[in-house]
Amino acid sequence: MSLFRTELRRLSKRRFTRYMTLLGLLVLAAVVVGVFFTNQKIDAGQLAQAERQADQQYQEQVRWSEQERVACEQAKTAGTSTDGRYPDDCSVITPPPREEIKAEWFLPSTFDFKETFDETLIPFAAILALVGFVIGASFVGAEWSTGGMMNLLLWRPKRLTVLLTKLAALLTGILAVTLPAAVLWFAGFWAVANFRGSTEKMTSGVWQSFALTGVRGVVLVLVLTTIGFALASLGRHTAMALGGVVAVMVVGQFGLGILLSMAGVRFAEAWLLPTYALAWMTKTVKLEDWNACNATYFGECKPATMDITWQQSSVLLSVGVVVILGAALWAMRRRDIS
């Protein structure tokens, strides 16, 4: 019997795998349903009402500005102390331009597929990556803790072949869930946009961009699944992977973030792993340092910036997989099986 088919069957028959997969899919479904019921399709009547509300807001700003300017002039004439409430020149108290008060502010939430769908791929990848990590850690961790790995190696004594076949079966199973889920995710939000928003201005370039982001999301799921599997194999227990993640996120990330912030390190987010995961999905994350003021010719203060790109994230993810999986393979080859 093929070892790969045996491992794939064992993976699919595990109750933990089924329950975690079902839980992840239910969470994804809940997100789609929640977005559906919290958005509306905008019609001409709502647009007209929003314009009227914007006009009303502008008129209120005009009245308030006039009242404040009169009060400022009276205070200046009487010589009353204003404690810095009014400027030296009362004429600068003017209402904002009409075009700055936008009708969109008064419209209900609507789902614009072109503008919004890209953002939904981030929680999609995060939820399935978490599911894959836990399933991967449990899949091999349970084999070590119950003695199943030792029994399997009596049948197939090639250690690295056994471990890599288990990993291949795991990634195949995760991929078999992730790809249909991605298709349903696209279809679900397309339906949301049709009934509760807009699908206008969709071009082939936009579809290509969404598809590439979806592919990066699938890769992220597979990478975290592999890391969970490797950590559990390295520690020979599921708790090794789960405990390692808790330690890295709570101690390594939150603690490090607080320490860097207290030390005043520039672009502290560049040292945190979630920044690179976000950059992998969004292609670029722009960090800003408002303590460094770059003055312009117009007297405007612009912060110093630093870009974290998906290429940098790919290097970090690749190194992480190679190091952790390599350590697991080395331990499998060198350590006693007992």
pLDDT of residue 148: 63
Residue 188 has pLDDT above 70, yes or no: yes
pLDDT of residue 25: 96
Q: Is the separation of the CB atoms in 106 and 55 below 8 Å?
A: no
Residue of higher predicted confidence among 160 and 127? 127
pLDDT of residue 83: 67
Residue 293 has pLDDT above 70, yes or no: no
pLDDT of residue 297: 43
Residue 177 has pLDDT above 60, yes or no: yes
pLDDT of residue 290: 67
pLDDT of residue 147: 63
Residue of higher predicted confidence among 312 and 247? 312
CA-angle at 204, arms to 198 and 205, nearest 5°: 95
Q: Which residue, 249, 221, 236, 224, is CA-closest to 327?
A: 236
Helix axes 113-146, 273-282, angle to 10 degrees: 130
Domain extents in the chain: 3-41+110-334, 44-106
Q: Look over the chain and give the mean of its residue pLDDT values, rounded to a whole number.
A: 83
Which range is least confidently modeled, 146-150, 187-191, 214-218, 294-298?
294-298
Q: Tokens 């969109």 correspond to what residue?
A: 104
pLDDT confidence bin for 101, thresholds 50/70/90: confident
